[in-house]
A and B are shown apart, each in its own frame.
Chain A
């Protein structure tokens, strides 16, 4: 097992890793559609935002330029640690409309603690040549960002690749040519069902650096335990919002359950502050409440893993149990276990 615990020092405080950065939808639409959770979940003083989206929303961006802070705008405590990615996912199809310097400036204006470098995600659908160019571009953007960056914030280089060699090569290239506090691995969401590929890529990155390793977009219920097992230090997820939008209720160990198929129940089987006192019929209609519960579900999953480690339990045995229910993820975990054992 490559699970590890560290402390990440940021301008807005220390956080214990491994840690989840919930994706705040702020700026994506006209209003922040993420319910406040920072006060409600004490060990979740973290948020992931999209720097590009915030900058593109004029009213809010003007308020930020005039002295407002993003934390005020989001109504979250001052000590919340914010990870601002470049919004590279928006460049999936279109052109890059920013520069490393400009993105850095935006991220600092937001008051972000962790800055993800500008990147151009890749996909299996692209021609190989196009993907190779994007991988190289992302690496060069990261090097430029490193040259520009001289602040207190942590700079994470965004890296891409759909095979272990490329990812490892990228990390080592950036180690040589830039100065980064960590690495953030992207482009895995489109291939997330190819577990073997995803875990081998993550392991290649983990093997290539001892620095902080973030994985973009895979912090949902199923992947979270795998990422922890593979030694990933942080991850982000918007699964709790998306699921709630579809009236999906996340149940650790089972994944998402569509509530419309559930009937004749007084209360849902969760003791989180949301579910504890809210009748099922009420919860089912309340998207905000579902979102909060889902975030609790992700948090409980992380807490449980941490507990197993702290209690000196056999984590592999715990995960054997955890992945028992589903053939696909069970196989994914078994493959990951083999890959890890070959490594250690």
Chain B
């Protein structure tokens, strides 16, 4: 041991010797919530594009499973896909980090991911639609109708019963209709939100909103999800995207709970032949089991795409894509890494994207500390 004191400093490392502004690799390579870049595998991007585009262009539901071993980019792929569809105004996108104990949890996470404001906005959008159809006013969106109500241009008491009635027709779920409408009332919107997220509320709070049932199991959650989707289609949305990550964790459930979860998802898909696109991220071995044991479920998922370990080419492309935005010296490619050094990283990481990024990040810092001008095979050998 040469030195037993820590050296902690807020001084930034200087990467200028490599013509870089900063270390472009993530220190902790968990996927960004909004990945800006995707160094993808063409067959995967093709399959995902196809699934997403089919739903967008035809309105017909289509689903996809992305399988990959741990660290090979499932979450990244899902999140990247989400970032591509999320900004579209004609769809609603929700992300479920993992399926939890059953469909109720998936539904809960989905609605929670949409958020209170979004659901409240949907309620106002519905009131706007009702106002357009039943009054002389012509509110185009949620904020316009909210303004009309605030200003007293329309009577809330005339819009609300009509909205409940129409939503009831559209969703076939009277309690859901009431909960949505109650999102606009300051006194009750938190209760309505709790009900809609399947968190459960007290009987008196339900009574105040004239909601008769509890939304607290898989069956009613499927019903509520379908109701929500139907509400969206009625509002003119093309559909709903549901991203379910770490689907392999259903293998931790009891056989009964696992089957119940898969059955609920199957029912959901059966009830929603239009306007629904579910993308699952799943470990391949768990997906294999699902395929062989639960045909009814796996049949409904049109496609599976497997992310493979990265090749040398992939890694070169990945590294140059990461480095490019940080470059100041106009060079390109994988510099300061040499081709050979990347090849060694490939062998050591077995093409696992998470490990590749982690090693690159670490080695780059070490090279700065040791005032190297290149990161060659020898240096890599020493460092890893």
Tell me, yes or no, whether A binds B. Answer: yes
Given contacts A169-B150, A176-B152, are A135 and B157 in contact (CB under 8 A)? yes
A128 touches B187 (CB 8 A): no
Contact residues in B for A135 (Cβ distance below 8 Å): 155, 157
Partner of B149, one of A127, A133, A169, A175: A169
The docked-state distance in angstroms from the alpha carbon of A80 to that of B155 is 36
Mark out the residues of chain A between 120 and 143 whose CB falls within 8 Å of any chain B CB in the assembled complex: 127-129, 132-133, 135-136, 139
Q: Quick one: closest A residue to B162, CB to CB?
A: A132
Residues 144-155 of chain B, each 1 if its beta carbon lies under 8 Å from chain A, else 0: 000001111111
Residues 227-270 of chain A, each 1 if its beta carbon lies under 8 Å from chain B, else 0: 00000000000000000000000000000000000000000000
A176 touches B153 (CB 8 A): yes
The docked-state distance in angstroms from the alpha carbon of A166 to that of B158 is 10
B187 touches A197 (CB 8 A): yes
A50 at interface by CB-CB < 8 Å = no
Tally of contact residues, A, Cβ under 8 A:
24
Given contacts A127-B210, A132-B160, A169-B149, are A163 and B155 in contact (CB under 8 A)? no
Contact residues in A for B178 (Cβ distance below 8 Å): 128
B210 touches A132 (CB 8 A): no
The docked-state distance in angstroms from the alpha carbon of A79 to that of B161 is 46
A163 touches B153 (CB 8 A): no
Number of residue pairs A-B, CB distance < 8 angstroms: 64
Mark out the residues of chain A between 157 and 179 whose CB falls within 8 Å of any chain B CB in the assembled complex: 161, 163-166, 168-176
A200 at interface by CB-CB < 8 Å = yes
Mark out the residues of chain B between 146 and 183 whose CB falls within 8 Å of any chain A CB in the assembled complex: 149-158, 160-161, 164, 178
Partner of A169, one of B156, B161, B164: B156
B210 touches A128 (CB 8 A): yes
Mark out the residues of chain B between 121 and 153 whose CB falls within 8 Å of any chain A CB in the assembled complex: 149-153
The docked-state distance in angstroms from the alpha carbon of A299 to that of B155 is 38
B153 touches A133 (CB 8 A): no
Residues 189-219 of chain B, each 1 if its beta carbon lies under 8 Å from chain A, else 0: 0000000000000000000001000000000
Partner of A165, one of B156, B161, B210: B156
10 extra A-B contacts, CB within 8 A, seeds A165-B185, A200-B186: A128-B161, A129-B161, A132-B157, A135-B157, A161-B157, A169-B152, A171-B152, A172-B150, A172-B151, A176-B152
Residues of chain A having any CB pair with chain B under 8 Å:
127-129, 132-133, 135-136, 139, 161, 163-166, 168-176, 197, 200
